[in-house]
Structure 1
Amino acid sequence: MGKTKKGGSKPHKKNPTGLSSLASLDIDENPNSSRGPIVNIIEQLQSTSNDEKMCGLQTLSTLCQREQNIKGIMNSELIRIVFPLLVDNDENIRHACAGSLRNLSAVSADVCEKLVELDIFTPLQILLNEYAHSEWTPVIDGKVNALNQKSDTFLQAVNIVWNLCESTSVALDFFNQSQLLQSLMRCLNHEVFGMDIAISVAQCLLVISEDNPISWKILAEYATDFQTILKIEGNHKATILRTVIAGVCSNVPMLSMQNLSLIIEALSKTVEVNHRQILNELTSRLPISESEAEQKEMTSVEIIDEEMDEETETEASERRLREDMPTELDNDIKDVGYLLSAQRIAAEVLTNICSTEDNDMSEGMDDSDPESVHDYDVSEQQNGNQVTADKISTEISESIRAHKIVEKLWERSQPLAENVREILYVSGRNLFKRQNAMRVASLLCLHNLCNAMTTEELGGPSAIYNVWLDLGQQTFQIQQDYESLEASTSLMRATLEHLKKSPELFREVSDTDLQLILDGIRTCDKSEVRANWLRMLGILGCLLPEALVKKITEFILETTLKEDDVWTISEALDSFMDMFSDNDWNQIVYELNVITKSKELEKILKTKIKQRRRELGDRYSAVITIKTNFSRFCKYLETQQKKFVPSH
């Protein structure tokens, strides 16, 4: 879906597609060169021959598949010439044009901004209005069991709108002025328009409804239609449609208030599905390796070439239709992709439902009190019951618990078996990425719920400790990408905040266990992950015996002196101050020469803040607060040491 189908001119034995190879289509530094492919495409698109136009559009679609060509395409006159073909009289040309532009709009936000700047919305609106002002309904082409050309053109156009509005607010403004919203709403009727179109329209509405009050009034008028979709059951297509509509409703204040319980119930059904079992079954049917898949593809092409001379045009046309038909495995892969996307969206919607501005503010202000010198005991603010009803409503909390959302998200966040991961990585890259994105979204949602619910609501200290322990084992035993590692450590950090008053759970933490964490921090090259680990060390320093606290103190001081990232330094110093909230640890301060090192760190932090103020962005005020607290902390340590008599 989204790629234009090859067709048009009769295939030749040496080049069955009639197109240039990808390698021959690379654009040189001068895209308007007389030898360049762009000039050839422009000539074809300006030809009076529809066959020539089709060939040009197919070549453009191929060009868009190579990242190195995008800049040359966008800097040429080609795009302005392509736009009018969206409303060409020939249905084949409209379809090929829509497919090419959809591929282009999916490249990046910068490309979308350029497309809007060049006025893609004018022909796009004309095209969609033709569908809106007619009795059109989709038709399934029985030969390929897919939407016919006119219907697929509409689908491509909706996806272009979706990509544009997701990438730039200017596109959203154009959409608001276009009055297309009402006409799109009717396409949510999947019994008339089919699931593919209903899903794409719903995903477009999800983007359009976010922080867009202009759309809310219109969408609120369709409350009954939305409620019907929120209750649908069925296959994975039904799952993603229900899930996306739950997201749309959560974006619209009136719909969210009226249907909160129904929304959470719909999302609960989505995250309940056991994706690991489904992927286990699917991977047993995937090709063993890329080389095997490539070998099969090469063999298929060779057989076609041998038969080409004896084919009639009718036979060739029927063969191309059969080649375009998805196999049963293709359909199953697509369906599982729908499920994984639905579960990711469900986690993201739940995150938004349980988020508040206050919650966001607390991210950067964790443990700092600018008015306090020695009030380091922040446990009353950040213990297991730190979040009260002003951060999550009773209705949401009860619904989350009633549907066991936390438990279900925890299941979705579990890593796949190693053999399944390997097969997906080699033979199902798209599913691998979707599964990983879903896992990250689930972890981040759990992180948010940890910040928004009490310890009791989350199952109690023991349950939370087990989550922290499991995540730690996964972190050190399973190879993870940066996004997964950051999400995992963020959740670990959030769970540990709930355990500040449960030191008995950490009695079995040994020097070896602690050393594993310290070694992990030393080898970590991502500042956000290091910041999470250092924050956790500060909390552990409040829970572990003095011998391990000394080791943590020494590590934080040495690591922070070498740290380059300002935010990581501030997080480390904040966690360092936490360790002294319940105990002054005067002997440790004396033995490790903490005061001298702390003064050195204070100077380093001040210097780096001046140098990198702009880089800090929204975190600047939090870093300044930590700097102020740390200055007071250093003075406090000096005062305490003057009274202290060291033991030798």
Structure 2
Amino acid sequence: EPGRKRFKRPQFSPGDCQAEAAADGTEGEEDDGPAAELLEKLQHPSAEVRECACAGLARLVQQRRLCPGLARRDAVRMLGPLLLDPSLAVRETAAGALRNLSACGGFEVCDDMVTKDVMTPLVALLKECSAGLNSNEMSPHEKKDENRNSVENIANEAVNVLWNICECDSRAVSVFNKEGCLEIVLKYLSRFSTNVDLAISVAYCLQTVTEDNPELLKSFSAAGLRVLESAMLSPVSSMEYLLLKTLVAGTVWNLKDLIPSKSQAEIISAVLKILAEVLEMDAGETVVQMKEAETQRLKTAAETEEILENANGDVLIEDDEMEEIPHKRKARRKTFISDLLPPTDKELRQTTALLSAQQTALEIIVNMCCSEDPSDDEWEELSSSDESDAFMETSLSECGGQLLSPLCLSHEIHTTLTNYLIPKKIVEKTAFPNSTAVDICSKNPAWKPLIRKMNTIQCRALICLQTLVSLLDVDHLGGAPALQTLAQHLSQLLFSRPDFAKHTDFAEAISSALRALLQTMASKNISQQCMTPDQLMTLCKAGIYNSNTGVRVNVVSILGITGSVLAKEDGTFETLKTIGCFLLEVATKDCSLVVAGEALDALFDVFADGKEAEKASVQIKLLSALKEFQPVFKMKIRKEGRSKYSQEQLCVLDNVKMNLRRFITYQETIEKRLSS
């Protein structure tokens, strides 16, 4: 399924282990040496050696280029059985290695994992963990609470493997459906108040497997839906719980066909209320505050340690006195009091959870808007309700897994989006990340990855904005003045980043949003004055050299939309000539037929009407250029069509080819008229 997008996945971080030495220094080596040695150690009689080999492999596969090689060496077949190893520590690190392999290896490696039957031991492990949480007695040698913690950690790694593979391979989703995995993961989710990490992993997995999976929907019982209800309406407001609630809201949205029609207004309101709450938060401010809190906490901890040291001399604790330290570490090391304090990444985890929640919320809104809209006459006007907390008692619990009437999108979603000010919140998220927050993160290696997350949120918000602008009524967006302000805002974003075309994700997202907005404004005859002709050409000249086809298509389309508006105005002759020459150049020289087709379409729009356009077309010799290009275009479609383009793209190109013929005929009549 190459069409599906795959975003960066969180990975497993194995603890200290002798394998670290083996995994180091592998940069630049192919899959021999350390990889072969570690794979051999997976068969070792000593559990400790097997555990360290798994941890070493978990590190090794984080170098993406090594994943295919490890897959070829049958790492999957060797790691699979270790998911059911007698040692809990081996189970956890084996699951961690498979988690990283599935996260870093992408579609091909996940496909290979399913072919090599990793699902059989994985499902068996998930079932055993579920039973272990019930009995609390998987191993009599360990304390019950320690054992429970260990079982939950293994379950967390296993659920992450399941999530990654199900996202990439439909066969894995079939296994999920048939093997009763839903019941197991819902049981893990029900423990959200004691283990939010495990619950978040399950919620990510559920959001993936409930998408376009009618078979699974039949398995949802009223009890299962009540588990989702309690997680979604949890009163806890920490940022990790906010992420959990957002993911569960996305799952509930995927299950919308289970909701009885009388409760549909409430479900929309409940889901959007959570998304609005998440988007309300200022991520930049949060980064600044959380970093300050971390600095203060570490300073206090250091002062406390110093006082204790001064009072007692070096207060040292041996490893074997510490329950927290895994039994495996033979070499005793001296542990200062500060090592027993809570981990230093507490604030970082909270901030990361908020950023993930915001990204997820924006993705859910795009999915909501891209669901198939019912036709106008099927739209049902439902009363909007803010009573979201009460809805599930009367709706989710009573549906009992029955497939009921599908949810009506339309007016209800439009109204609820507006009631919660979601379009406004999305526009706020399109701004560049807070510069103070970016500065703070850039100076701290552990926080540096958050810069990428903040940039991703900006791009998701721009994509979300594009969707809303295309679908919502102008009134729901605040009318003509709001659209003009928005166009101004987008062009300011664009021109405040002169090198925008180098940042492909940003360039594609902002050009898509601007294209959709200008299209809407043109169709409603709303005046467009967000860019001067010079700025317009600057944008197009920068964007047309981008390697991303989407960016090139967008800038050409923007030129077509703006040019067709200018063609109806007086005094635009020179600008139309510039636009015409540029579009001709793109149509005849771009390596992609999709971009060339879009440039031809733009030419048809710009020169279809108006006195200024007629004069400009004669000046730039548009007719002779297109006549010359017509046979070349037809030949390219014939030669490259089937091998390079999808059926849908070929359909569009055939349409462009037909319109080119008609446009040439039209231009011939203009030339005759003007020359007579």
343-352 vs 596-605, which deviates more? 596-605
Match of 1:298 in 2: none
Deviation of the 1:37 alpha carbon: 2.9
Q: CA deviation at 1:193?
A: 4.1
Pick one of 246, 263, 275 that aligns with 2:271.
263
Most deviating of 474-483 and 492-501: 474-483
Verify the 8 A CA contact 2:488 2:530 in the aligned structure 1.
no
Q: Which one scores higher on RCO, CA 8 angstroms, separation ≥ 6?
A: 1
Q: What is the letter of the counterpart of residue 249 of structure 1?
A: V
One of 113, 116, 132 as aligned partner of 1:115:
113
Report how far residue 442 of structure 1 moved.
1.5
CA contact (8 A) 2:369 2:467 kept: yes
Q: Aligned letter for 2:475?
A: E
SS of aligned partner of 2:112:
helix
In the alignment, which of 639, 645, 648 is matched to residue 611 of structure 1?
Answer: 639
624-633 vs 551-560, greater mean Cα deviation:
551-560
State the Cα RMSD in Å: 3.3
Question: Does the 8 Å contact 2:130/2:187 carry over to 1?
Answer: no
Q: Corresponding residue for 2:166?
A: 165
| Higher mean C-alpha displacement, 420-429 vs 578-587 | 420-429
Residue in 2 aligned with 1:88?
85
Structure 1 residue aligned with 2:514: 492
Is 1:344 equivalent to 2:359 in the alignment? Answer: yes
For the 8 Å contact 1:98–1:157, the answer to whether it is kept is: yes
Q: How does 1:96-115 map to 2 (within 5 A)?
A: 96-107=93-104, 108-115=106-113
Tell me the equivalent position of 1:235.
238
Match of 1:586 among 601, 605, 614: 614
Change (3 A) 1:574 1:191: closer
1:374 matched residue in structure 2:
none
Aligned equivalent of 1:564 = 591
2:5 is equivalent to residue 5 of structure 1: no
For 1:500, give the aligned amino acid: A
CA distance in 2, matches of 1:261, 1:397: 11
Correspondence for 2:377: none
What CA deviation, in whole Å up to 9, does each residue of 1:295-317 have, x standing for no partner? Answer: xxxxxxxxxxxxxxx99653736
Counterparts in 2 of 1:182 and 1:326: CA distance versus 1, 3 Å: same
Matches of 2:148 and 2:579 in 1, distance apart?
62
Establish whether residue 552 from structure 1 lines up as the match of residue 579 from structure 2: yes
Q: Which amino acid aligns with 1:231?
A: L
TM-score, normalised with respect to structure 1: 0.81
1:632 equivalent to 2:662? Answer: yes
Sort the Cα spacing of 1:6 and 1:391 in 2 relative to 1 into closer, same or farther, 3 A.
closer
- Find 1:483's aligned residue among 499, 505, 510: 505
**Residue identity in the other structure for 1:578:** D
One-letter identity of the residue aligned with 1:598 = L
Q: What is aligned with 1:464?
A: 483
Q: Which residue of 1 aligns with 2:380?
A: none
CA distance in structure 2 between the partners assigned to 1:24 and 1:498 by the alignment = 53
Moved more, 36-45 or 314-323: 314-323
Closer/same/farther in 2, CA of residues 312 and 449 from structure 1, 3 Å limit: closer
Shift in CA distance, 88/21, structure 1 to aligned 2, threshold 3 Å: closer
> For residue 638 of structure 1, what is the amino acid of its counterpart?
E
How far did 1:340 drift?
Answer: 1.3
Letter in 1 for 2:517: T
| Aligned 1:161-560 pairs, distance under 5 A | 161-219=162-220, 221=222, 222-233=224-235, 234-255=237-258, 258=264, 259-282=267-290, 314=320, 316=332, 319=335, 327-328=343-344, 330-357=345-372, 393-418=410-435, 420-421=437-438, 423-424=440-441, 427=445, 428-478=447-497, 479-480=499-500, 481-500=503-522, 505-506=527-528, 510-521=532-543, 523-544=545-566, 545=569, 546-547=572-573, 548-560=575-587
Q: Quote how far apart the aligned CAs of 1:174 are.
A: 1.4
Secondary structure class of the residue paired with 2:564 = coil
- After TM superposition, give the deviation of residue 88 of structure 1 in Å: 1.4
- Offset of 1:508 from its aligned partner? 8.2
Alignment partner for residue 37 of structure 1, among 34, 39, 44?
Answer: 34
Shift of the alpha carbon at 1:241?
A: 1.0
Q: Which residue of 2 aligns with 1:363?
A: none
Distance 1:456 1:549, change over 3 A: farther
Q: 1:162 to 1:630 in 2, by over 3 A?
A: same
Moved more, 93-102 or 208-217: 93-102
1:531-561 Cα deviation digits (max 9, x unpaired): 1111111111132342322322232223322
Q: Work out whether residues 4 and 100 of structure 1, in 8 Å CA contact, stay in contact via their aligned partners in 2.
A: no
CA contact (8 A) 1:26 1:63 kept: no
CA distance in structure 1 between the partners assigned to 2:494 and 2:340 by the alignment: 42
CA contact (8 A) 1:64 1:70 kept: yes
Instruction: State the one-letter code of the partner of 1:404.
Output: L
For each residue in 1:133-176, what CA deviation from the matched residue of structure 2 results, as whole angstroms up to 9, or x when unmatched? 3443999x99x999832221111111111111011111111111
Q: For structure 1, which segment, 514-523 or 49-58, has the greater mean C-alpha deviation from structure 2 after superposition?
A: 514-523
Give 1:605 shift. Answer: 2.4
Alignment partners' CA distance in 1, 2:338 and 2:93: 19
Give the Cα–Cα distance (whole angstroms) in 1 for the partners of residues 408 and 542 of structure 2: 33
Structure 1 gaps of 5+ residues are: 10-16, 288-309, 360-389
Give the Å deviation of 1:43: 3.6
State the secondary structure of the residue aligned to 2:565.
coil
- In terms of mean alpha carbon deviation, does 462-471 or 341-350 score higher? 462-471
Distance (whole Å) between structure 2 residues aligned to residue 403 and residue 575 of structure 1: 37
d(CA) in 2 for partners of 1:50 and 1:44?
10
CA contact (8 A) 1:283 1:420 kept: no
- Give yes or no for contact 1:220–1:254 (8 Å, CA) kept in 2: no
* Residues 643 and 169 of structure 1: CA distance in aligned 2, closer, same or farther (over 3 Å): same
Give CA-to-partner distance per residue, 1:190-215, whole Å, 9 cap, x none: 45542111111111111110111121
Structure 1 CA distance for aligned equivalents of residues 294 and 602 of structure 2: 47
Gaps of 5+ in 2: 1-9, 296-315, 322-331, 375-406
TM-score for the superposition, normalised by structure 2: 0.78
Amino acid at match of 1:495: L
* Distance in 2 (alpha carbons) for counterparts of 1:507 and 1:57: 60
SS of residue in 2 equivalent to 1:564: coil
The percentage of aligned residue pairs carrying the same residue is 26
1:120 CA drift (Å) = 1.0
Aligned partner of 2:62 in structure 1 is 65
3-state SS of paired residue (1:500): helix
Distance change >3 Å, CA 436–CA 619, structure 1 → 2: same
User: Which residue type is aligned with residue 262 of structure 1?
Assistant: A
Q: Deviations over 1:433-486 (max 9, x none)?
A: 222222222211111111111222211222112222221222232244211110
Instruction: Determine the structure 2 residue equivalent to 1:599.
Output: 627
